[in-house]
Structure 1
Amino acid sequence: MTTHGARWIRAALQVNPYGYEGRNAPKKNFSSEEAYNSALLDECETQGISLIAVTDHWCVDSSRSLIDAATGRGIVALPGFEANSSEGIHILVIFEAGTGLDPVCWTR
């Protein structure tokens, strides 16, 4: 039987990489980036999440390791970043899977 139309998936569109430095920084609870990535992706699999967007604040470079680990497990990983305005508005900027990080890194 052929299916047509949309397919429902579970997604997490604001996942922080290990390098995130905010209030809930992963470095406070995990001894290494590998341990954090593994625990996060284990939980994604447990929850049936098949797509994540890795969105650190104003930074895409910190997401490379998590994107690679997710892709290796069959989880679609979208690169991106979280931007905010002086008015306090937060925006998730998300790129398609496979987008290289160098072209979207605004610091270069």
Structure 2
Amino acid sequence: MTGLGDDRLVAGRRALEQTREDFWAVCAPVNPPKLARDYVDYFCARNAANVDTVKKNQPRRLQFYDAVDTYLRAYSAIANELEPAGYAPREVASIEKEVRFFEDVVRDVKLAAGEQTD
């Protein structure tokens, strides 16, 4: 029989896996090599001075922000317990690197779109 803590970790892992999957579906159209600039190009505009494209891409940007936010909340819920939740150390390192990367990407996209000041 599992305890409440085990059930919480199972649910947390399930939530993290689902939100990561949903997140990556939103990011799938971004052109390789999927560096920060590639996300800015797709969710904002290749040339941020092109106000019409920036405006046209607002719905996809909002979807991206929502997907990142949902993913980060699921991550935060079990961030200090990834290994007890069943992630191997290599997976933990990969997820942590991914989270840091996308926190920066969201900032870069918002700056390029004029939605946030530095």
TM-score normalised over the length of structure 2: 0.31
Quick check: which one's helix share is greater?
Answer: 2
Higher relative CO (Cα under 8 Å, sequence separation at least 6) belongs to 2
